[in-house]
Chain A
Amino acid sequence: MSTGAWTPPKTTKLMGWRELPAIGGYIMEPMSTTKNTTGSWRTERPVIDQDACIRCRTCWMYCPEPAILELDKPYVTKDGRRYDLTYEIDYDHCKGCGICAHECPTKAIKMVPEGAEE
């Protein structure tokens, strides 16, 4: 990572665009905000009932973070429905906004106060 600081050129020759000094701030590592575990800001956490979930992808679409993970994890529900996918929450980054629970068509997601039992 460079802060963009530069040393003045030694000659007075006009610079071409390739020699122009770095201006502004540079962030070299893509997607590095994932290191910032913003999940700690949350006061309520979403909990998915895997048996009630119909794998419609609504929560995945609407989560603003995005903190809904779409995993290639097979799952068989108690009443025998088979799924290739499982939706899980990335609790390191979920901020607990509740949009997923509010939009889920089968009400498979419950918001549970942090620190409370599920």
Chain B
Amino acid sequence: MIIVNPTGCLEVTTTIYPYTSWGVPYIHVAFENAGAVASGIEAAIKALNKNGLLKRNTRVIAIAGDGGTYDIGLQALSGMLERGHGVLYVLYDNEAYMNTGIQRSGGTPKFAKTTTMPAGTVIRGKIQKKKDIMSIVMAHHIPYAATANVAYPPIDLVNKVRKALSYLEEGPAFIHVLAPCPPGWGGFPDEKMIEIARLATETGYFPLYEWDRDRLIINPPSDMYMDKRLRKPLREFVKAQSRWSHVTDEEIKELEKDIEDFLNYLWRLSIGSGVPTPYA
């Protein structure tokens, strides 16, 4: 296994020179090119195997933040997906450029305040919605893409990584993992980090689903939360965090409507791709 990691909190916290936390070969690359570097390594491994210089199917995993994926690394990622490199690309999404001090990214949700989008009376934090990165990735028709959440490591996250790795012979795999940032999201003590992550899924804000060879499957527990009555109120998730401390009830309603629309979109994709479902 070889890990490719563009700059961001993961790199900064695990590779404090002259030490490294990694027990496998690891390459730190520029902010914008994780997809390109991972592609090159994957192609090199294939070529070496073909020429008899290597007899091992070493796997390549890119792990990048939301800034490095939604924004600056998007072109390199798209190229990697389009060319069909057998790489697992993991996006860990803490919803802003956290390493450099909480700047807004394409992954930052609406109304969340950041240092580059502070909340005032006119501008209410981020103006735009969170970019739907999964749909962009799925549009490349790669064999496997999934969302996951650090609050659900067993069985969901672990199984998704295992499944993704088993698809790499066919092409790229992508996993979008929600990972709260206690200082960046603010307002809750460190020990509640997993509880906050869990609320993201329980309120419908971050649904768990997978794109498995052109079929969209909504995974438990998110399949249950397709029913609005079973979801927790979004307010519980939003009001626990200082990045949204300024939002009004009207604004929460607007966020709720966006979630409802997005879940309906997922629902239609799921049914349209021929997945039978017990929830109606």
A and B pair up = yes
- Which residues of chain A have a CB within 8 Å of any CB of chain B? 1, 25, 27, 29-36, 57, 61-62, 97-99, 101-103, 111
The answer to whether A101 touches B153 (Cβ under 8 A) is no
The answer to whether B190 touches A33 (Cβ under 8 A) is no
Q: Which residue of B lies closest to A26 (CB)?
A: B18
The answer to whether A103 touches B194 (Cβ under 8 A) is yes
The answer to whether B22 touches A31 (Cβ under 8 A) is yes
Q: How far is the CA of A111 from the CA of B192 in the complex (A)?
A: 14
Q: Which residue of B lies closest to A100 (CB)?
A: B191
Which residues in B have their C-beta under 8 angstroms from that of A25? 17-18
- Given A99-B193, A102-B195, A27–B20 Cβ distance below 8 Å? yes
Which residues in A have their C-beta under 8 angstroms from that of B193? 97, 99
The answer to whether B192 touches A102 (Cβ under 8 A) is yes
Which residues in B have their C-beta under 8 angstroms from that of A102? 191-192, 194-195
The answer to whether A101 touches B18 (Cβ under 8 A) is no
A46: min CB distance to chain B, Å: 10
Is B265 among interface residues, defined by CB-CB distance under 8 A? no
Interface 0/1 of B62-75, CB less than 8 Å to A: 00000000000000
- Given A25-B17, A36-B16, A62-B153, A30–B190 Cβ distance below 8 Å? no
Q: How far is the CA of A62 from the CA of B18 in the complex (A)?
A: 27
When the two chains form the complex, which single residue of A27, A61, A97 contacts B154, counting CB atoms closer than 8 Å? A61
Q: How far is the CA of A85 from the CA of B29 in the complex (A)?
A: 40
The answer to whether A30 touches B194 (Cβ under 8 A) is no
Q: Which residue of B lies closest to A101 (CB)?
A: B191
Q: How far is the CA of A97 from the CA of B191 in the complex (A)?
A: 6
> Which residues 201-245 of B sit at the A interface, judged by CB distance below 8 A?
none
Q: Which residue of B lies closest to A58 (CB)?
A: B154
B190: min CB distance to chain A, Å: 4
B37: min CB distance to chain A, Å: 12
B112: min CB distance to chain A, Å: 22
Which residues in B have their C-beta under 8 angstroms from that of A29? 19-20
Q: How far is the CA of A72 from the CA of B54 in the complex (A)?
A: 37
Q: Which 7 A-B pairs have the closest CB atoms?
A: A98-B191, A102-B191, A32-B19, A97-B190, A33-B21, A27-B20, A33-B19
Q: Which residue of B lies closest to A36 (CB)?
A: B19
Is B189 among interface residues, defined by CB-CB distance under 8 A? yes
Q: How far is the CA of A27 from the CA of B20 in the complex (A)?
A: 7
Which residues in B have their C-beta under 8 angstroms from that of A31? 20-23
A-B pairs with CB below 8 Å: how many?
Answer: 53
Which residues in A have their C-beta under 8 angstroms from that of B194? 62, 99, 102-103
Known: A30-B22, A103-B195. 19 other contacts (CB 8 A): A25-B17, A27-B18, A27-B19, A29-B19, A30-B20, A31-B22, A31-B23, A32-B19, A32-B20, A33-B14, A35-B19, A57-B154, A61-B153, A61-B154, A62-B194, A98-B190, A98-B191, A99-B191, A101-B191
B166: min CB distance to chain A, Å: 22
Q: Which residue of A lies closest to B154 (CB)?
A: A61
Is B15 among interface residues, defined by CB-CB distance under 8 A? yes
A25: min CB distance to chain B, Å: 6
Which residues in A have their C-beta under 8 angstroms from that of B20? 27, 29-33
The answer to whether B14 touches A99 (Cβ under 8 A) is no
B28: min CB distance to chain A, Å: 8
Q: Which residue of B lies closest to A30 (CB)?
A: B23
Q: How far is the CA of A33 from the CA of B23 in the complex (A)?
A: 10
Which residues in A have their C-beta under 8 angstroms from that of B16? 33, 36
Which residues in A have their C-beta under 8 angstroms from that of B21? 31, 33-34
> Which residues 168-202 of B sit at the A interface, judged by CB distance below 8 A?
189-195
A106: min CB distance to chain B, Å: 16
Q: How far is the CA of A101 from the CA of B154 in the complex (A)?
A: 18
The answer to whether B18 touches A1 (Cβ under 8 A) is yes
